[in-house]
Amino acid sequence: MDLLGGLSRDELRIYSWVAAAVFALVAGVWRPRGLHWAALGSVLLLAGLNAGAGIYVLNHFGDSRWSAGGDPPLSAPSLSGTPLVGQFLGPLDSALNGVVSGVNDFLAFQQALPIALDFLAVSGWALLVSFPLAILAAGIGFAAARRRTADFAKYRATVDLLKDELEQVKRQLSSGNSVGTALPAVDEPTDARHGLTRRG
């Protein structure tokens, strides 16, 4: 089933740009921080769609959509209808039809080739633009990754500092409890009888 059979060459060109713009818009709304990757993806999508359209035109070069405004196809005359000698020239009709069909295919390909080259040229320009975009997107992604790594390092340093402070507080609490249990109580009453016994 030919899904592109109802599209003219202008519609193919417009739809490729619209699809790339819609992709960039949706990807930008979905991930605003990855706008550089959305731009790169839309340019690559534009390149792919135009390359596919160019290949489609070449595979369907006999389609009348590519020959709009051009010369009409040639038709071979029938030799079998010639008076007196028509019955002898009948076998030449098939050969002449084959030759005319080959000429028509060549003319159709000649008319479709510039259209296919237009699509392929747009694809090539999009690929050419994608190289600096890829370098820019990679640089932005690398910078964002370094920033996330630095933020994580700060977070981990803060957590380690809090752990150290917690350990110090635990040691101070445990040392305070041990000193409290080792010292005798100040208000503890003395045993007078024990003291008198030692004196005697």
Q: What percent of the chain has pLDDT over 90?
A: 23
What mean pLDDT do residues 30-35 have? Answer: 82
pLDDT band at 99 (very low <50, low <70, confident <90, very high): confident
Q: Identify the CA nearest to 70 among candidates 113, 32, 99.
A: 113
Distance CA 161, CA 111 (A): 75
**40, 137 Cβ separation under 8 angstroms:** yes
Distance CA 78, CA 70 (A): 25
pLDDT band at 51 (very low <50, low <70, confident <90, very high): very high
Cβ-in-10-Å burial (0-12, 13-18, 19+) of 123 comes to: buried
**122, 43 Cβ separation under 8 angstroms:** no
The pLDDT of residue 197: 46
Q: What percent of the chain has pLDDT over 70?
A: 72
